[in-house]
Amino acid sequence: MIEQIDYWPMIFVFMLSTFIGVGVIRRVSRLLHTPLMSITNAISAIAVVGSIIVTGSEHPTPIRILGAIALFSSMTNIVSGFLITDRMLKMFKTQGPKVKNK
């Protein structure tokens, strides 16, 4: 039996989310371009979803090994991406500790 997949909705989703992405990201402060890159990195590690399915399903072992490596890579990106973004964002302050700034 052939799995029938209606791919047109996916293409629409892709088109619309690209527009949303462009619209949202154009407004991101230039100050924050480095944290922006690290957070989008963490978010695109949503590939973790695909990796979990490949690793956890009833598949031959070599396939699951590939999945496990992919899962490890995605998880590394999620953990380090969110942690470092937060670490950087914490540093952005309007006032230094000693100097009065208006």
Partner 1 sequence: MIEIFTQISYVLAAALFIFSLHWMNDPKTARHGVFAGVGGMLLAIIATWAQPAIIVHHVWIVIAIALGFVVGVPLSRVPLTAVPQRTALSHAFGGLAAGLVGTAEFFLWLNEAPHNLTTFRMTAIIAEIVLGYLTFTGSLMAAGKLQGVKWIPQRPVTYPLQNVTNIGLLLLAIGLGIALILNPAQAWSSTAFLAIIVLALLFGVLLIIPIGGADMPTVISILNAYAGLSAVAMGFVLNNKLLIIAGALDGSSGLILSIIMCKAMNRSFVNVLFGAFGQVQAAQVTGEEKVYKAETAEGAAQLLEQANLVVIIPGYGMAVSQAQHKVRELYDQLKKRDITVKFAIHPVAGRMPGHMNVLLAEAEIPYTDLVEMDEMNTDMPQCDVALVIGANDVVNPAARYDKTSPIYGMPIIDADKAKTVFAIKRSKNTGFAGIENELYFSDKTWMLFGDAKTVVGELVKHLS
Q: Hey, which residues between 13 and 32 contact partner 1 (CB under 8 A)?
A: 13-14, 17-18, 20-22, 24-32
How many of the chain's residues bind partner 1 (CB under 8 A)?
Answer: 88
Question: What span, in angstroms and rounded, lies between the C-alpha atoms of 15 and 45?
Answer: 20
Minimal distance in Å, beta carbon 61 to partner 1?
10
Question: What span, in angstroms and rounded, lies between the C-alpha atoms of 66 and 75?
Answer: 14
Spatial neighbors of 25 by CB under 8 A, at least 6 apart, are: 36
Minimal distance in Å, beta carbon 45 to partner 1?
6
Minimal distance in Å, beta carbon 98 to partner 1?
6
Site for partner 1 in 34-93 (CB under 8 A): 34-60, 62-64, 66-93
DSSP H helices, the chain, are 8-26, 33-44, 48-56, 61-91
Question: What span, in angstroms and rounded, lies between the C-alpha atoms of 20 and 14?
Answer: 10
